[in-house]
């Protein structure tokens, strides 16, 4: 009997927290051995090489960090 599940396609939210430090998670790693880990961008970069070795699937939303405008729109100033 197999208990494998499909990788979660649900987007990460502010409720999802890094398993290493508790910051907001931007990376979900489905492990080959089963289970998943969540990481903030900092820890995803720090442990990236090892994560790729043990991952069955990686859901990466770190691009959200660079999509944020650094200025408010003119109508909000």
Question: Is the overall model pTM greater than 0.85, yes or no?
Answer: no
Quote the pLDDT of residue 66: 86
The DSSP line for 10-30 is PPP-TT-B-TTT-SBP-EEEE
Positions of the chain with pLDDT lower than 70, given as ranges: 1-8, 67-70, 72-73, 76-77
Q: Which of 35, 50, 15, 34 is nearest to 26 (CA)?
A: 15
- Give 43-60 pLDDT, tens digit per residue: 999 999 999 999 999 999
**Residue 52 near residue 39 (C-beta atoms within 8 A):** no
Separation between Cα atoms, residue 19 and residue 26, nearest integer Å: 11
Q: What are the boundaries of each domain within the chain?
A: 16-61
């Amino acid at each position: 009997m197999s208990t494998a599940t499909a990788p979660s396609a649900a987007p990460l939210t502010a409720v999802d927290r890094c398993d290493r430090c508790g910051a907001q998670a931007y990376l979900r790693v489905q492990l080959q051995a089963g289970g998943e880990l969540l990481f903030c961008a900092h820890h995803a970069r720090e442990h990236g090489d090892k994560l790729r070795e043990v991952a069955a699937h990686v859901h990466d939303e770190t691009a959200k960090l660079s999509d944020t405008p650094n200025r408010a729109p003119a109508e909000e100033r």
